[in-house]
A = this chain, B = another copy of it.
Amino acid sequence: MKAVRVHGYGEDPSLDDLPEPGIHSPHDIVVRIGGAGVCRTDLHILEGQWREKSGVRLPYVLGHENAGAVVEVGSAVTTIAPGDSVILHPLATCGACGACRAGDDVHCTSSYFPGINADGGMAEYLRTSFRSAVRLDPELAPADVAALADAGLTAYHAARKAATHLHPHNTVAVIGAGGLGHIGVQALRALTAAEIVVVDRSEAALALAAELGADATVRADGEEAAAVRERTGGRGAEAVLDFVGEGTAVASGIAMLARAGSYYVIGYGGSIDIPTIDVISNEINFVGNLVGSYGDLVELMALAARGLVRLHTNLYPFSDYAKAFADLDAGTLTGRAVLVPSL
C-alpha cells in the first residue's frame, strides 16, 4: 500500500510502498483510510521537535487524525465489524487500567499513539485498537470529519469542561479562533448559554467566530483584557479558553478573568508565571487540557451528525501530500488539509 513516511528529521517525507499492516493482537482492527488530517504537529515532527518525546523509530508513517472503513478485526473484537464506517480516537488505549475504566482513557497507563509513536494513518490502511473506533452516523463522510479526531477533540474537551460551570449570565472568553478555536466556539455554542466573547488578532478569524455563534468579538490589540472587562461590567470572564498559550496571550487572558474564574490552558509554547498571592486573592484556577476522551469523541460526533459542529476541509489526493504539507506550512489554507487515498 501507499504511505507517507518520515525517513529523517529535517527531510521531506516520501510516499512509499509498504505491506498492509494486518492484525497482530486480539484487540486490533485494520481500517481503510477515508481521510487523514494534516496537522501542524506533523510539521513539528518533520522538524524533529518530537524526536525524543515520541522516541519513535524511523522510518514510520505519519497521520494521527484518521477516519475510514474497518476491513479486519482481531479475535477479541466483538463490537466493531468489517464494513463499519469509523473515526479513530488518536490514542490506542488498554481498556484495563483505572483511567480507561473510569472514562478518562487519555490518561491510560499503557497506550500508544499511531502517527506519533507508531505507524499512523497517512496510508491506505492503518492498524489500531478497536477501542479507538467511534462508528459514524451515515450522514458523515470519513474525509469530512477526520480532522476532528485530534484538533477538534481537544477543543471540544476543553469546552465541555468549561461548560459545566458556565451559566446564562456568565461570560466565556475564547482566545484564538483558528484551527482549534473555531471548533471550540461551536462546541461552546452547543453546550452552554453563556455569552461567548472571542479574542483574536485576525479580523477574518473574528468574522468566522461571529458566524459560528460568538456573541461578541474583540480584536487582540493589547487592550483586549480591558475590552472584556468593560463588556462584563468590570467583572471579567468566568472562563477563559486559551487556544494560543504563548506570547502575551497568557498574561492578557489572566487579566480578563473574573474572581473565582477558571483559565483553560489549551494552546502551549509559553508559560504561566504568576505570584501565588494573585492566585489566592482572586481565587482563580488554571485547568490543563489534553485531547478529549473516547466519550468526548462520541459526543463530538453526535454534534457533527446534527450539523452543530462543522469543519472546513481541503481534500488532497495522496499524490499531492507534499502540496498539502506545503500549503499548511505557507499558511495559505482556510480550514484543514485532509489526505484522501482514494482520490
Contacts and interface: CB of A to CB of B under 8 A. Distances in A.
Given A76-B25, A107-B283, A131-B96, A193 B308 contact: yes
Interface in A270-304: 270-277, 279-290, 294-295, 298-303
B273 A265 contact: no
B283 A277 contact: no
Interface string A102-118: 11111100100000000
Given A79-B94, A285-B287, A275 B280 contact: no
A302 B76 contact: no
A281 B290 contact: yes
Given A268-B277, A294-B101, A96 B79 contact: yes
18 contacts: A25-B76, A26-B26, A78-B110, A98-B169, A101-B295, A167-B299, A191-B192, A250-B276, A265-B279, A268-B275, A268-B280, A269-B277, A272-B274, A272-B286, A280-B289, A283-B288, A283-B290, A285-B285
A46 interface: no
Contacts of A269: 276-277
10 shortest interchain CB distances as A-B pairs: A26-B76, A268-B276, A168-B302, A169-B302, A190-B193, A279-B288, A76-B76, A286-B286, A79-B96, A268-B277
A130 interface: yes
Question: What band does the interface of chain A fall in when counting residues whose beta carbon is under 8 Å from B?
Answer: 35 or more
A219 interface: no
Contacts of A102: 103, 295
Contacts of A76: 25-27, 75-76
A75 B27 CA distance: 10
